[in-house]
Amino acid sequence: MKKLICFGKLKDNFGGFAKNETDYSLLFENDSLNLSFVSYDKNIFSKGKSYNDKLYEGDTVEIFITLGKRNKYLELEVNPDGVQYAGVVENNNGQLNITYLPASPFFSRVDKKHDCWDCYMTIPIANLQRLGFQKDNAYFNLFRQDYDEDKLNLYALNPTNKSTFHDLDSFVKLEIE
């Protein structure tokens, strides 16, 4: 079964248009979520060289997916060098408790070009279910961090209107079937 869940352009996290466009698509296919980002950027900036490094100090694309309850979610990130980050977040009214996963629950590939970088993620549903994911109670959001001349630009599928992505009210229902 193949189902297009959503596609479009990420918005500025505080409303309006993003300074640098990001195209995205999320597809359910072969018992996996397949996510693609095309991040336009003339100043690609990566931080981190190893799995679970502090990628958020540079450009990243991200997905947050709930794991059985609204305040527990998987945070997956990839930077322009293809380095991954994966952690389970328990968000108690903005107080974050993050458990880093020892092994990545997803696959990714990055194609870096002159003025953009493309990221493809495959997230097997079985890996999500081992972490507590429930198809009938699933929510998500998509994000991009874009550093541009020492200024951090935040983009989202459903903006948080805050300087953080960790806003549970911004998550949208994930309709797989």
pTM: 0.96
Residue 91 pLDDT:
97
**Which among 17, 23, 76 has a CA at the least distance from the CA of 52?**
76
Using a pLDDT cut of 70, give the percent of the chain over it.
100
Mean pLDDT of the chain: 95
pLDDT tens-digit map of 127-140: 999 999 999 999 99
Q: Domains of the chain by range and CATH?
A: 2-173 (2.60.40.1190)
pLDDT tens-digit map of 98-135: 999 999 999 999 999 989 999 999 999 999 999 999 99
Residue 150 pLDDT:
74
Q: Rounded to whole angstroms, how far apart are CA atoms 156 and 14?
A: 9
Predicted confidence (pLDDT) at residue 176 exceeds the cutoff of 90: no
pLDDT tens-digit map of 148-159: 877 899 999 999
Q: Rounded to whole angstroms, how far apart are CA atoms 123 and 33?
A: 5
